[in-house]
Amino acid sequence: MAKPLQIMETVLRDGHQSLMATRMRYRQMEPMLASLDKIGYKALEGWGGATFDSCLRFLDEDPWERLDNLKANLKNTPIQMLLRGQNLLGYNHYSNDVVEKFVQHASAHGVGVFRIFDALNDVRNLRVAIKAALACPEKPEVQGCLVYTISPVHSNETFVELARELQEMGCHSVCIKDMSGLLAPYAADDLVRKLKAALDIPVELHTHCTSGFGHATYLKAIEAGVDIVDCALSPFSSDTSQPCTETIVAMLKGHERDTGLDRQAMVPIAKHFLGVKQELIKEFGLKGYFDINVNVLDFQIPGGMLSNLANQLKEAGMEDKYQDLLDEMPRVRADAGYPPLVTPSSQIVGTMATFNVMAGERYKMVPNEFKDLVRGKFGRTSVPVDRDFITKTLKIPEDQIIEDCSIEDAKGQTFAQFKDELINKGFLNPSDEDVLSYALFPQVAEEFFKKHYKQITAYRK
């Protein structure tokens, strides 16, 4: 029996995050929301990732208000968000009550699908967020992620075992999250077939076209029975973004996996977003496109981050060391236990490699975040990090090595403590949403509040 492929559309989030530094404003989305809602997508990704930070830092928008507005205009299509497990949307682990409170409020404001991942694929960092999402009265879909990577210690079998754990934890679906375009077509065929045989829940595939594999990888995954794929409308597709929605729809026309979606109905929507793209390029001085780089299979750093690292070398007058940086990244990753490279591990490994190249000596200058990664603060790495590397090379005392990151999470700042801190800064009646914004991005949120709220310089008695 024919089973139509479902599409999750990323134009409102990952599409412009990948190509336009997450600079699209809500007002640029709003004219097309009703039209997007009629297409018949499985979901529309509209929140999470860098969206929250960008709203507060660059666009002078309240991310919670954006979510409310999206929900008001999307009557039929669930809003999907990306959530970094115990990291939420920030770069550190948060206490359990902050994670629970965030998930509850996100669901209440309109998130219909929670895509939850951990940079290290450590399920201990997923449990609290998954449990909180499953308990939400709005009954959102809860999707667990396999953060895809390639290394001497990763195999399709290890990802299938992780998927089984996610299903046992109550996830309604699983997603293969291939953030750097590393999943090759035939590897995708094998992985999807194994997942479909092992699971009773739908399998979704998310990739980027950074390596050039994108559309071919989707075709092989579709043939293998994948249930859902993530695509972006043409102006915000390909390069370092997702495969093109219209292309996938046209490719399957008349096939047993025909999406049933109307490609012609997408034409005016794509035309609108092409205009938005041109506006963003002009306003923010963005390039708007990225060349395919198959060498991402070696260094594995997502494209947007590579440009930042290259700029750091340029500012230091060491632009000629860029290839050295690309060569150093796999070595640092191996030293750190082969973590998948996605936020925040990609930034941590990339920064450490940059420091090594700039210093001309390995591990002469070591950021605290790299020490935290290898000593276990972010969770369990794919293979244990060599103890001599931790204690002798990085000079981290034995008693600072963390075996159970959840014990450390319990010591984290609580929601009540974040609220008191905000009140003591003169914001005397913060909403729960404001407290959560502050917990995730303290300095950025505080600057936003100063612009929009009357601050009273007084301490609570």
pLDDT tens digits, one per residue of 157-171: 999 999 999 999 999
Q: 184 and 78, same structural domain?
A: yes
pLDDT for position 304: 59
pLDDT, tens digit (0-9, with 9 covering 90-100), for 238-270: 998 999 999 999 999 999 999 999 999 999 999
Res 101 pLDDT > 70: yes
If one counts every other C-beta atom within 10 angstroms of the C-beta of residue 172, the result is 18
Q: 304 and 189, same structural domain?
A: no
Give me the mean pLDDT over the 223-233 stretch: 98
Residue 416 burial (10 A CB sphere; 0-12, 13-18, 19+)? exposed
Is the N-terminal amide bond of 340 cis, ω within 30° of 0? no
Res 461 pLDDT > 50: no
Q: Please report how the helices 185-198 and 214-224 are oriented relative to each other, as an axis angle in degrees rounded to 10.
A: 30
Exposure string for 341-360, b = 16+ CB within 10 A, e = fewer: bbbbbbbbbbbbbbbbbbee
CATH of the domain at 338: 1.10.472.90
pLDDT, tens digit (0-9, with 9 covering 90-100), for 381-428: 989 999 999 999 999 999 999 988 777 766 789 999 999 999 999 998
pLDDT for position 412: 82
Q: 260 and 301, same structural domain?
A: no
pLDDT for position 460: 45
Give me the mean pLDDT over the 134-151 stretch: 97
Q: 431 and 396, same structural domain?
A: no
Per DSSP, which regions of 148-187 are E strands?
173-177
Tell whether 459 is covered by a domain.
Answer: no
Tell whether 437 is covered by a domain.
Answer: yes
Tell whether 1 is covered by a domain.
Answer: no
pLDDT for position 306: 67
Tell whether 457 is covered by a domain.
Answer: no
3-state class (DSSP) for residue 133: helix
Tell whether 291 is covered by a domain.
Answer: no
Give me the mean pLDDT over the 227-234 stretch: 98
Please give the residue range of the domain that contains residue 307: 296-409
Q: 267 and 323, same structural domain?
A: no
Give me the mean pLDDT over the 147-160 stretch: 94
Q: 79 and 155, same structural domain?
A: yes
pLDDT, tens digit (0-9, with 9 covering 90-100), for 31-55: 999 999 999 999 999 998 789 999 9
Per DSSP, which regions of 355-451 are E strands?
none
The number of domains in the chain is 3
